[in-house]
Amino acid sequence: MSVIKIRAIEYGRLRSPDLDVQEKFLSDFGFVRSARTKTALYMRGTGSSHHLHVSELGPAGFIGFAYSVEDPESLERIARVPGATPIEEIDEPGGGRRVRLREPNGYQIEIVHGIEKLPELPVERYPQPESDPVVKPPKGSRFKFGPSRVRRVAHGVISTPDVPATVRWWREMLGVIPSDEFYHGSYDTLVGSFNRVDAGDEPVDHHVVYITRNQTAGLQHLSFEVEDVEDIFIGKEHLERVGAYEHMRGIGRHFFASQIYDYWLDPWGRMHEHWTSSERYTAASRANRIIFGEAFIAKYGEHAPERFIKHVTP
């Protein structure tokens, strides 16, 4: 029995030495500014979340993840865990309440409740022609060119030298459950674990956190859902035209979870993913155990290059 059950990932928290440069990248990636102070930048998507991405001013690095819970009682339970903070009012744009604690690698985990919701943003498309032209586009297509339209944060990936201990903490504290797990050589050596939220009979994403082995602990990437496949292609073309950022991998479709992806590095090397079309699971869906070697297969597109597999932001 876990201490709490998280409902969703709310945002990732990074540290950046130049908020203007960070905002330019995030805008090109498909975010919209929600708020900005002298010391932090808060970026949102088209969905109702107040923000999906927080950048604090300071030396470049990874601070941690935030997860939401459905009831204030969950905050009370997690606040009793040794090392957790008392429940505190969030003194940042969007408000709400939270408890902060540290996962086994030392990164901050925020358990949040009651953050302000915002009206969803319209997604602009070219008008659909009323007449029947010679070539009529499929209904619902014809996004305007420019950045992708980030909608929500999908998951975070953390690297660690000790996968079993990190996985155990996430499950015992936050109530996540396994989807796919990878082993090296035999089932005695766990090297990667996809975990989803437990929402009972409600279908959820294949994973809210992936924990992968690396000699250096830190952020492997943050993933954000966009409108659809076309939006991923449009976003990639826009980032290529800007020409200021490093492309890491994609476009392709993962074998596990089946989502379509495209990965980019921000100006300080933190990896951000455009994501769409993932498989959905309930709590009753089967967990799979796989011998390492299949873990980074792509159904379509290039298999994961070595620099992708080993990438980490401390």
225-260 b/e with 16+ CB inside 10 Å = b?
A: bbbbebbbbbbbebbeeeeebeebbbbbbbebbebb
User: pLDDT of 193-212, one tens digit each?
Assistant: 999 999 999 999 999 999 99
Q: What is the spatial distance between Cα 275 and Cα 117, in angstroms, rounded to a whole number?
A: 23
Q: What is the spatial distance between Cα 42 and Cα 35, in angstroms, rounded to a whole number?
A: 5
Contact 122, 48 (CB under 8 A): no
111 DSSP β-pair partners: 67, 99
More confident residue, 301 or 53: 53
The predicted pLDDT at position 133 comes to 53
Q: What is the spatial distance between Cα 155 and Cα 56, in angstroms, rounded to a whole number?
A: 20
String of DSSP letters for 44-99:
E-SSSBS-SEEEEESSSEEEEEEEE-SSHHHHHHHHTSTTPPPPEE--STT--EEE
Contact 221, 210 (CB under 8 A): no
Q: What is the spatial distance between Cα 107 and Cα 87, in angstroms, rounded to a whole number?
A: 18
Checking if the pLDDT of 261 tops 80, the result is yes
Q: Torsion-angle region of residue 277: left (phi > 0), alpha (psi -120 to 50) or beta?
A: left
Checking if the pLDDT of 33 tops 90, the result is yes
Checking if the pLDDT of 237 tops 70, the result is yes
The predicted pLDDT at position 155 comes to 98
The predicted pLDDT at position 136 comes to 54
156 DSSP β-pair partners: 209, 222
Which pLDDT band, with edges at 50, 70 and 90, does 303 fall under?
A: confident
Helix ranges restricted to H, the chain: 19-29, 72-79, 163-174, 229-242, 306-309
Positive/negative CA dihedral, 114, 73, 110, 224: negative
The predicted pLDDT at position 292 comes to 74
Which uninterrupted H or E stretch holds 281? strand 280-281
